[in-house]
Structure formats: structure tokens, C-alpha cells
Structure 1
């Protein structure tokens, strides 16, 4: 028996900012009970990775300006959206200092660079619109399927989003050359 999933009408095209300030292009979909974060290769037309986060597990949604440690050399401007789903689990020391680690109980997004290309992209890449849809979907999920021991109310916080990177040489090179985006680069696409 196939289960029907109510998907959002328009997928969100956002940029994930990882713990080392690296940008990665993602397609983000809101399903009835899940948030799906997809790494889709638009050049090779294949899905490389999907991360599923149950909406009723999301603890907090934070929205605000990016901030960095005072002595950080590589900073970014703009606003971000951080989705936290396991507030009791702190990343280990090794996870924080490993640039390839994906063992974090949160993900951070910012707007996609094609946001202002035309009206169609504006609707798909708007961070505020995605945050509103996500907040409503998470509230519905908490009402339908509460988790014992949780407050079952998702706070949406407006405060700075800290990216703990100090040197950031790899993120500077990667972000300037758009290495986290699916672009045609000669005979290769990555």
C-alpha cells in the first residue's frame, strides 16, 4: 500500500552553511511529517544525498544575522536560518574540528544566489517564506504527534547565528569558486 505524502507546492532552493562556513546548494522539501534536505546534482541529474528530519523532532528554529568569533578571518554577511532537532546532544570536539563531519543536530541555511534572478526564483529561494512554512508545518506535526518530555511548542528565536570558524581558508576558496554548487565546469560537473 502506497502512502500519500502532502508535499509543499514549491520546493525551496537554499544554501546550507556548514560548521566551517562552506556553502552547499540544497533542495529543501517540506513533507507532511518530514523535512527533506536533498543534495541534487542538476548537471548529472541525480540525487546524491537525502537527509530526513521528522518535523516533530525539531526543537527550535533560529533566524538572524551570521556572527563569527572575534578573531575569525573569514566572515560572511547576511541572515541565516538554523533548524535544531536535538538540543540535548552537543557536537563532540572532533566533530567540530572535522570539516567533513556531518554529525550535527542542526543545519543552517541562507538564501540562494539566484534569489533575485526572476519572480519564479524569488518564490523558491526566499528564506523568510520558507521559515514561515516550516514553522507552521512543525507546529502541526507537534500537535498531531507529540514527543513525550518535550514542550511540544517550537520557539522561533530571533538572534545571531554563530559559525565557529577562525581561519576558513578552504571555505574562502570553495565559496568564491562556488564548489558547493552544481555547475558545469568544462567537461565536468560538480
Structure 2
């Protein structure tokens, strides 16, 4: 038996060496796969907490970089250079109105003012803009966007998400998954879980009721911004994603503020108590220029 083992020893050792080499090589890919999985899981957690959870990024006209670049150049020529000013930075962000409706805005920051531009990314022209002098800003609030405790908006959002999940399962003919899609967790209240910033120039004065409850009021003394939905979905370098990032905008803006301007870190309350109109508007992305079948707006 010992003699047999000696004869078979080299072959056995060679086979074990071969197996060890084969097992060593996949270690790195396995590690990379684990890292990639962790990143994907982290990204999926973020995506679940942002607006337009099931969006197709290719439906956004701004998904094409050359379109955004052209819009920035157009607005710089017509709004900034004509006022003998200098561009500091430019972003594509989501502006949240007093009534909690999300709108796509091109934000240009110059040494003297901030421009919030409603730009038609289909016909490539400026539709409207709001110019706020940097010297007018008295308070900058940065923090998570939240609703008041008595607001129905998170509950309605959870209800809409649950119904949408059931419909999607049925449409895809995943009848066996409908039961799983209809569990109660799908209908839980949905918070925004998004950071934002609010720029105020009201000197601490409350908004008059005649403006607060007027959906057509435009001279609201503050602006609220969040990251553009493409920030979570856009593929590319960090430089490309920075264009849609509220944090990058906040950092640049702080460098231009005067010492008199207060910078506060606290939650930003979106005073939306019922929110049916905002829910329909935001879930369908009506404030963004997207491809919608034969109709695009």
C-alpha cells in the first residue's frame, strides 16, 4: 500500500497543485463580484427612495449630454454675458414649488446672481427664467425634504406605489407574483428620503395667506431644489453626475455667499397636506421634458 501511494503521489500532488491554482485565480473576480453586488444593492436602495422609481432614463431629452451643453451655452450667452457677468457653475436640478410640484430647471450661478431657467429641451429655447441677486439671499437651509406630520402625501404615495406594483405584475403576466406584490409593505407611507436646499430672501417674514393659498402666485421669496432624477440613473463619470447633484450646487453657492447670509442645516418642510394634484404631477413627470409616445413635453 505504501508503495502504491508513492507511485501515485506525484500525480496526486500535481492534481492538487492544479486545483489550487484554479481556485486561486477566481478569488479576485469573486471579490470584485461581491463589491459590485454591494454597490448595486446600495444603488438600488437609493433608487427606491427617489422620485420616478420605474423611470426610463432614455425618455428624458436631457439624457443626451449635447442637449444640456447646448442649453447651458445658449443661456450663458443670452442671460449672463449680456449682463456683463461671469458664469461660475451650471446644473440641471429639480425645483420644488410651493405646491410640491417638481419641475426641471437649468440653474446657472454667476458671480452676481442665480438664474433658474425653464428651458424647452425639445425646441431648444428659453421659455422663462427667474433671476435672484446673490446679495438678496439671507438664509440657506440644507437638509432632508420632509412633509408635516399631518400630511397625507406620504400615505397617498405609498398607496399609489402599491397599486402600481400590482398593475405592473399583472401587465407582465406574472400572475404568480401578484400575491407577493400585493403585500402590505408595498402600501406603506413613502417619504422622499432626499436631500435638498432652500434659498430664502424673505428676511424671516412669513408668506401672506393670499400668496400661500394662491396656486398662481409667482413672487414667492424662496426657491427649493433637489437633485435631478438623472443623478441616480445617469451612467458616466462623476463629473457628468455632478451636473445633476444638489450637493455640488450647494458647495459652489456657499463660496459666493456674504457673511450676513445664514447657512442652516435642518429638515426642509414641504407644506403639502393632501397632495393629490402633486402626486399625479410628480409620478408622471409632467414637469420634465420627456418622450411620451407621440406627444412630447
Q: How many residues align?
A: 176
Gaps of at least 5 residues in structure 2 are 1-81, 155-191
Residues 1:34 and 2:113 aligned together:
yes
Match of 1:136 among 255, 258, 283: 255
Bigger CA radius of gyration:
2
SS in structure 2 opposite 1:138?
Answer: coil
**Residue 178 of structure 1 aligns with which residue?**
285
Q: 1:67 and 1:123 mapped to 2: Cα distance?
A: 23
Offset, 1:39: 0.6
Deviations 1:55-90 (A, max 9, x none): 011001100111222121114331110001122443
Does 2:241 match 1:122? yes
If asked which structure has higher relative contact order (CA below 8 Å, sep 6+), I would say: 1
For residues 171 and 16 of structure 1, the distance between their equivalents in structure 2, rounded to whole angstroms, comes to 13
Q: Deviations over 1:122-175 (max 9, x none)?
A: 120111111111111123xxxxxxxxxxxx521210001111111100110010
Instruction: Answer with 112-121 or 49-58: which moved more.
Output: 112-121
Q: Flag the 1:167–1:33 CA change in 2: closer, same or farther, 3 A.
A: same
Aligned match for 2:193, one of 77, 94, 108: 77
Q: Provide runs of 4+ in structure 1 moved above 6 Å.
A: none
Partner in structure 2 of residue 169 of structure 1: 276
1-structure distance, mates of 2:292, 2:227: 23
Structure 1: segments with no counterpart, 5+ residues: 140-151
Q: 2:207 aligns with which of 70, 76, 91?
A: 91
State the alpha-carbon separation in 2 of the partners of residues 157 and 11 from structure 1: 23
Determine which of 100, 122, 129 is the counterpart of 1:43: 122
Instruction: Name the one with the larger strand percent.
Output: 1
Distance 1:45 1:188, change over 3 A: farther
Residues 1:189 and 2:296 are matched in the alignment: yes
> Which residue of structure 2 aligns with residue 146 of structure 1?
none
In 1, the alpha carbon distance for the partners of 2:277 and 2:218 equals 17
Q: 1:67 to 1:38 in 2, by over 3 A?
A: same
What is the CA-CA distance between 1:180 and the residue it aligns to?
Answer: 0.4
